[in-house]
Chains A and B, each alone.
Chain A
Amino acid sequence: MEYLKKYPKLFQWLFLLVVFFALCFAIDVPETYKFIRGQAEFVKDPNQSVYFFLGKEVRYYAFDVFWRLPPLLGWLPIWINDSLFFLMNEWMPMEFWNEDTQEFKTRPILLQISRNLTAFMTFLIELIREILLGGLETIVAFTSWDFIDAYPWLELPGLPWTIVAAGAAILSYKLSGKGLALFAGLTMIYISIFGQWKPSMQTLSFILVAAPLSFIFGLGLGIAAYKSKRVEKALYPILLVMQTMPQYAVLVPALVLFGVGDHAAVIITMVVAVPPMILLTILGLRAIPPEVIEAGRMSGCTNWQLMLKVLIPTARRDILIGVNQVIMVCFSMAVISAFIGAKGLGFNLLLALNQLNIGLALEAGLCISLIAILLDKMSLAWANKQTDYFGNLTFFQRNKNVIFFAASFVIGIILAYVGTFIFKGSFNYLFEIPHNKGISTADFWNKGVDWIFDTFFVYIKAFNTWLIQDVLQPMRALYLRMPAVATLVLAVGAGYLIGGIRSALVVAALTLFIALSPWWDRALVTLYMATFGVVISCLIGFTVGTLCFQNKKSAAFMLGVCDIFQTFPSFVYLIPVMMLFGITDTSVLIAVIVYATIPATRYTIEGLRSVPVGLHEAATMSGVNKFQRLTKIEFPLAFPHMMLGLNQTIVFALFMVIIGAFIGTEDLGQYILKALSDKNGAGIGLTLGICVAFIGLIFDNLIRTWVEKRKKHLGIA
């Protein structure tokens, strides 16, 4: 009884677990139950039950309500789908002037908007693409195809790769200095020599449209939300869901709305990249000390000046993290949107992965990662740039970067021209090194992979078999063995114990949505993979973080490593694991673990770092040794921040599990992938995405509530 009074929470948790397990044992597996690919399949089967709702027919496998809830939300994807089609093809038809046929045409308004938006995006992408690679679409856009036919010489010639490389290096030098310039130059030369020029520039042109647009929209909406409570309230739930929604899931609706191609990819990238930008903008603006704003006002700023010259620069730190996120998401999407027909490195990467050509995939992946890192560093340097007012510079000194660029421009063109003589009849290597004509190390890597396979096959196979048979499959079976009611009780109970009625209700609503959707079984599989990944990631991340924290230099080094790894597009992580483990669940899980370890490590180091120095000293003076200090002081104080890391780890893990569907797993991701090629896929894709997002949000809600309470308790809120 005394213990009960001393640790009431502990006993409440124990009680919850007892109820959970009691339910698990009390409810038997129904005899007819087998792992169902989807509770409601769209193929007909005599064993299925049927219900009608909103005129939609939903077929499903009926079980005892305690075991699996009936898919009462089964109509939702179908309904979303029909609504989308209705909106696009029938809603509000209006007369629009058609330039090509020179007559008015009746079209639904959304379709027209979508077409216009599409045309605009396509124009932007083509413009940049043709500056880099040459072409005639841009000129056509201003004139007509007939015009081009009349003057066939009229086309943008494209820049020789030498000029782009020199330009990148000079820009980097101006922004940051020699180090970055060298990196930029080498990156460009690498890309060119290895024959990745064309796809790289295609990807780059996509990024150069998507990233700035996402930045502008994100910043704009962030400011609007900062200024108006109402806007913020309207945006917040969308932002929350988008944060945990797997990027895959938004592809399908985009397909319906905007069709296939780079333009759709840009729009969908914006949809994914804008929310974090908004959140970070709001965060940054909120953190500005009120006196700084007053100082701006007293300096006589107009509202615009206040925003542009005081608020945004002062909130720069958070906004920059936002930019970093935007770039990260853009590169991630550059790969993923290859599924809906975006050209460039992503397409090559997917193709190579599909053909199991690990060497090629590795090269493409490396190119993407290098460009990502380069752009990230350049944007950072740009924001931190300082003006020098006092240097008494000559004309040459002031304009040396422009002069150098002009010089390299001329030299580049001369070189390209000379090239036409040197490489007569073959490719002009000084203009552009064509795809697959550069040096390729693909064979080397492929042989390496073969060698690894031949040499270590026995061990890898043994490990693989052990992991799958003795760990993963039992775990998966356990998860699937959970009756729906028991899971609900566990989730809601946890919500109640952590955050009271409010949390319990939120968690209940989110869980119910998934339970009533047709994909409960798959959600469980997703959850099991994510759990496995998260547990291992946290073990590694917390350990590595703690070890690195012991030394300032290694901590800084580790954070730098995390930064770089975070810049890699998520798909890149699949390459090395496929090299080693082939197409198995093991591969996916290892990719999940590697990817999700990043936030775990980062937050551990940051959390430990944020422990005040005064406490360290107080602890040292109390005579604790290093280990005691770690366990008694640093961990308890850093723990809330580390839990936020856990939150991020879960989101990262979920993302990767979903992407892992590309390799072939039986979770929600596989269905999202399938929805891509389904004409009714939009609703399914979106609903599945929401399911994944809700899994993330359940944990997000629980962890955040706990962290806030804990921080308040510790007085470090």
Chain B
Amino acid sequence: MSETVIKCESVYKIFGENAKKMLEESNGNVDAKTFQEKGCIVGVNNASFEVAKGEMLVVMGLSGSGKSTLLRCISRLTDATGGKIFIEGQDLLELNNKELIELRRSKMGMVFQSFALLPHKTVVENIAFPLQIKGTKTEESINRAMEMVKLVGLDGRENYFPRELSGGQQQRVGIARSLAVEPDIWFLDEPFSALDPLIRKEMQDEFLRLQEKLQKTIMFITHDFDEALKLADRIAIMKDGIIEQLDTPANIVLNPATEYVRKFTEEVPREKVLVIEDVMDTSSNDNLGDLKVSKDEIIENVAEKILTQEKIVAVVDSENNIVGSIKPSKIIDTVFGGRKNGS
């Protein structure tokens, strides 16, 4: 695993007057109910995880699950009540205001659900804003902003005001703005939730294209499980401030850790999420047929081919070495087996 960029060690965020004191007294054993009785609301409860360089961690949860609060702790828009957060080895909570601003100016970018564009600035001014705040010369920042305008495909609209743009276009501006300073870490807080489904899909594809190109370290917040599956390297599922499970999409679908997670996975079309590698048999098998499939293929794409085989199908890696095998019946099992209530 490559170097760790974001590291959280038992992070707590508790809202309320005596939150800090109560947390100390509880010795890390935070129970939301007892806290609530004393007038405190638990936002994030004992969150520990790491995000590696270039990795995309999607935090999934329904509203009120504390996912946005967690993100705001890590970007230090709010101060965590307890725990430690490291950004590239620096202790975030120890930074003074000046260092924090420097960190944000050079390393962090953030996209917001409601776009949060400045209404009095045009598209290009909005994008150039973080640069100008940093003190970049006007001409340079505008040139850079124009590059970003092209990157997100808004050419010709650079002099529009946010109010003159559609939701999707506004979020493109938001994305461009967050990328203007070339940050290493990219926070996205439900960036596509306010968009209608067609635009959302378009933006997700666009986002994947960008990430392919830019390879940022990403924390992506969403309440949409499908979106999480589509985008994530790893998914953290949150409920009532607690991370219920943090794993790759395939593992979450295959082995939901709790009942709560399982409910989400039930309706997921597995053939669209899982790749051959997730379901193949790794023990050596001599009785292989002629068909070979790549271990990185999504099941849906090769299911028909495999199902028409009578023999066991060989699974190969990118160098065409055989790494495992898969029975046609396993495909049927995977597609239909997980759905307990048989929809």
Contact = CB atoms under 8 A, between A and B. Distances in A.
Interface of A: 289, 291-292, 294-302, 305, 309-310, 313-314, 316, 386-387, 389-390
B104 A300 contact: yes
Interface residues of B, number: 37
Contacts of A310: 118
Interface in B108-134: 108-110, 112-122, 124-125, 129-130, 133-134
Interface string B57-101: 000000000000000100101000000000000000000010001
B138 interface: yes
A298 B183 CA distance: 11
A291 B116 contact: yes
Contacts of B138: 389
Nearest to A316: B120
Given A291-B113, A300-B102, 20 more contacts: A289-B116, A291-B112, A292-B116, A292-B118, A294-B72, A294-B77, A298-B75, A298-B108, A298-B110, A299-B130, A300-B133, A300-B134, A300-B181, A301-B133, A309-B129, A313-B118, A313-B119, A314-B118, A314-B119, A389-B142
B159 interface: yes
29 contacts: A289-B114, A289-B116, A291-B113, A292-B116, A294-B116, A295-B110, A295-B112, A295-B116, A295-B118, A295-B174, A297-B77, A298-B110, A298-B178, A299-B129, A299-B130, A299-B133, A300-B105, A300-B130, A300-B133, A300-B134, A301-B133, A313-B119, A313-B120, A313-B121, A316-B119, A316-B120, A389-B138, A389-B142, A390-B158
Contacts of B13: none
Contacts, number: 71
Q: Is the interface of B mostly helix, strand, loop or mixed?
A: mixed
A647 to B, nearest CB: 29
Nearest to A292: B116
B177 interface: yes
A299 B130 CA distance: 5
Which of B72, B129, B187 counts the most A-chain CB atoms under 10 A from its CB? B129
Q: Which 8 A-B pairs rank lowest in CB-CB distance, beginning with the nearest?
A: A300-B105, A295-B116, A299-B130, A291-B116, A298-B110, A300-B104, A313-B120, A291-B112
A661 B184 CA distance: 70
B16 to A, nearest CB: 17
A286 to B, nearest CB: 16
Contacts of B130: 299-300
Nearest to B121: A313
A309 to B, nearest CB: 7
Interface in B129-186: 129-130, 133-134, 138, 142, 158-159, 174, 177-178, 181
A314 B112 contact: no
Contacts of B116: 289, 291-292, 294-295
Contacts of B117: 292, 295
B109 to A, nearest CB: 7
A298 B121 CA distance: 17
A299 B119 contact: no
Contacts of A313: 118-121
Given A291-B114, A305-B133, A298 B104 contact: yes
Nearest to B107: A300
Which of B122, B133, B174, B181 counts the most A-chain CB atoms under 10 A from its CB? B133
Contacts of B177: 295, 299
Which of A294, A297, A298, A313 counts the most B-chain CB atoms under 10 A from its CB? A298
B119 A309 contact: no
B144 to A, nearest CB: 12
Contacts of B133: 299-301, 305, 309
A302 B102 CA distance: 10
A515 B181 CA distance: 66
B228 to A, nearest CB: 21
Nearest to B131: A299
Nearest to A289: B114
Contacts of A294: 72, 77, 110, 112, 116
A291 B158 CA distance: 22
A706 B105 CA distance: 49
Nearest to B187: A298
Nearest to B105: A300
B171 to A, nearest CB: 12
Contacts of A301: 101, 133
A298 B109 contact: yes
B161 to A, nearest CB: 9
A300 B102 CA distance: 7
B110 A386 contact: no
Contacts of B112: 291, 294-295
A312 to B, nearest CB: 10
Nearest to B130: A299
Which of B120, B130, B174 counts the most A-chain CB atoms under 10 A from its CB? B120
Contacts of A296: 118
Contacts of B125: 387
B146 to A, nearest CB: 9
Nearest to A295: B116
Contacts of B174: 295
A386 B118 contact: no
Contacts of A295: 110, 112, 116-118, 174, 177
Contacts of A291: 112-116
Contacts of A390: 158-159
A468 to B, nearest CB: 53
Which of A296, A305, A389 counts the most B-chain CB atoms under 10 A from its CB? A389
A301 B104 CA distance: 9
Interface string B195-207: 0000000000000
Contacts of A292: 116-118
Nearest to B104: A300
A471 B59 CA distance: 73
Nearest to B189: A291
B295 to A, nearest CB: 39
A348 to B, nearest CB: 40
A387 B124 CA distance: 11
A289 B158 CA distance: 24
B108 A302 contact: no
Contacts of A387: 125
Contact of A314 (B75, B102, B120): B120
